Copies of this chain bind each other. A is one copy, B any other.
Amino acid sequence: MPYDPSAFPPFAVTVDLVVLTVRRHALCALAVRRGEPPYQGRWALPGGFVRGDEDLSTAAARELAEETGLHAHDPAGPLLPNAAHLEQLATYGDPKRDPRMRVVSVAHLALAPDLPAPRAGGDARSARWAPVEDLLDQEVGYAREDELAAPLAFDHARILADGVERARSKIEYSSLATAFCPQEFTVGELRRVYEAVWGVALDPRNFHRKVTGTPGFLVPTGGTTTRQGGRPAQLFRAGGATLLNPPMLRPEA
């Protein structure tokens, strides 16, 4: 079959972002309020069109910077203070997912440390961090008093759920949980990340043994802190290791 430009239909390609962070012991996602139809006034994931000369990862990094001020962490580059982990998640292309036209969305997953406040950028009237349970537990037809009564726009609930599941499984066998922490952190803070993402309680003693005993996971910086109260804790930075072998086991229940 020879090449024929009329043989394929045109698509719009967007990137949508699942930006996760841990705030007040809860896994939270960044949501923006839609300022125009369709789904006007509803919450949605941040995102936007891919430009004509842009790679997908570039577009995702640009949207991330526009919405949060974070820049994407280059795996090969140096550790930067305000950097987030960014990776491709999955692509969603149901013909009816956007009522306006045929849109294929390449969703990306970003993991960021706790930030002061989201900044509303681009086409969003407002932006906020919301616990993922609040964003996902929106039953259709279940009216609530607060502003989160409606479920997420488009298929964003599905995308968010996929991103959360990716994060939950990925911290099992990689050192990615450190992406939720500031540059220097304690073992207890890292443990609270796992507890928030998985929604379970972990034994502090076994957790401490596991993470300090895994070579390359944590590097002590020499300092200590008492910002959590109690006995001062050692400060660590993320080590060079990316894969955890053996993995951190997620409890059954």
- Tell me the A residues contacting B by CB distance below 8 Å: 1-3, 5, 7-14, 36-37, 49-56, 88, 90-95, 100-102, 104, 106, 122-123
Q: Check A49 against B8 for contact (C-beta < 8 Å).
A: yes
Contact of A104 among B92, B101, B106 (CB under 8 A): B106
Q: Check B54 against A104 for contact (C-beta < 8 Å).
A: no
| Cα distance, A114 to B57, chains bound together (Å) | 36
| Cα distance, A11 to B201, chains bound together (Å) | 46
User: At the interface, is chain A mostly helix, strand, loop or mixed?
Assistant: loop
Closest CB of chain B to A169's CB: distance in Å?
A: 9
**This chain: copies in complex:** 2
| Cα distance, A51 to B7, chains bound together (Å) | 9
| Cα distance, A7 to B51, chains bound together (Å) | 9
25 interchain pairs (CB within 8 A)?
A: A1-B36, A3-B37, A3-B100, A5-B101, A7-B49, A8-B13, A8-B14, A8-B49, A9-B50, A9-B51, A10-B10, A10-B11, A10-B12, A11-B12, A11-B50, A13-B104, A52-B102, A53-B95, A56-B92, A56-B104, A88-B90, A88-B91, A91-B106, A93-B106, A104-B104
| Cα distance, A53 to B123, chains bound together (Å) | 28
Contact of A1 among B8, B55, B93, B123 (CB under 8 A): B123
For A90, list chain B residues within 8 Å (CB): 88
Query: Which of A1, A49, A52, A91: most chain B CB closer than 10 A?
Result: A91
Closest CB of chain B to A52's CB: distance in Å?
A: 4
Closest CB of chain B to A93's CB: distance in Å?
A: 4
Closest CB of chain B to A35's CB: distance in Å?
A: 8
Closest CB of chain B to A163's CB: distance in Å?
A: 14
Q: Check B56 against A91 for contact (C-beta < 8 Å).
A: yes
13 further contact pairs, Cβ within 8 A, besides A1-B123, A93-B106 = A3-B100, A8-B12, A9-B49, A9-B52, A10-B10, A11-B11, A11-B50, A13-B93, A52-B102, A53-B95, A56-B104, A88-B91, A91-B91
Closest to A37 in B: B3
Closest to A100 in B: B3
CB contact under 8 A between A54 and B95, given known A8-B49, A10-B10, A104-B104: yes
Closest to A123 in B: B1
For A3, list chain B residues within 8 Å (CB): 36-37, 100
Closest to A57 in B: B93
For A50, list chain B residues within 8 Å (CB): 8-9, 11, 93
